[in-house]
Structure 1
């Protein structure tokens, strides 16, 4: 099983596309700005190129983890130390039978969605509690990451 670097890059880039739509003023942008205390003046004061580059790097790191969550064969490969060339014949037989099992866009989307619900939302929600942010903020931001994880999982798992 090979590492699909292009799928990881596209999955990472998808978060920027989703963000452009999600945080558009006609979608959730106005709500997010109000709930986060952001203003147009603050938005104009930042270095957007740097923001997008660092966001992409973070999304790339997330995509690598989503791969481990969405592609079950990664776990099987890790059981032989990550080197299939030294694996026993039973591992090779297993991979011949199940190497492409559950490698669909739909299955990856399911795992991404589950990661969003059970990881992203609680993480953002916990931070929001301590930052004294509203539940709306948690839903908008957590919903964004759940949507991103869902799309990332679909791309990574389905793009064989």
Structure 2
């Protein structure tokens, strides 16, 4: 469990790094500010420590659940209730054959990308519809989560 938490924390930290680049005014920050009505003055009024800590916390939750999505071996572990000592011999045979299969950054990034595209983007997009936000906002904010889930998925899948 300790490794799971560490991997999630590192992946969550990656979300901050991606955000610093993604929301830079020279990348998508100016578009995001225009589409949300944010000004530099309003941005300076924010409590950045709280915002960054909460971003880290929320990203940690996402990275934590991404383990179950990007690491196929969690399915086998779930079938036995998470207790290998109670497993039937078929579990040991399965893990002997497939224990580290598909545990690469590339594979995790693929599943992370699909999670971002088919889960995070629709969540952001649905909220944007009701908030009367533009398609540009949806692409910038949703795109950030697609890329972030992709990188976080790669990190948690490759790190063994």
Q: What's the TM-score bracket when you normalise by the shorter of the two chains? A: over 0.9
Q: Supply the distance in 2 between the matched residues of 1:68 and 1:79 (Cα, whole angstroms).
A: 13
Q: Which runs of 5+ in 2 are unaligned?
A: none
* Structure 1 residue 132: Cα displacement: 0.2
CA contact (8 A) 2:5 2:64 kept: no
Q: 4+ runs of 1 displaced by more than 2 Å?
A: 1-6
Partner of 2:108: 108
* Structure 1 residue 127: Cα displacement: 0.3
| Pair 1:128-2:139 in alignment | no
Partner of 1:97: 97
- 1:6-155 aligned within 5 A: 6-155=6-155
* Structure 1 residue 93: Cα displacement: 1.1
Q: Supply the distance in 1 between the matched residues of 2:28 and 2:122 (Cα, whole angstroms).
A: 20
Residues 93-133 of structure 1: CA deviation (Å, up to 9, x unaligned): 11111011110110000000001110111110000000000
TM-score (norm 2): 0.97
* Structure 1 residue 2: Cα displacement: 8.2
Q: Supply the distance in 2 between the matched residues of 1:83 and 1:13 (Cα, whole angstroms).
A: 30
Corresponding pairs, count: 160
Q: Supply the distance in 1 between the matched residues of 2:64 and 2:7 (Cα, whole angstroms).
A: 10
Q: Which runs of 5+ in 1 are unaligned?
A: none
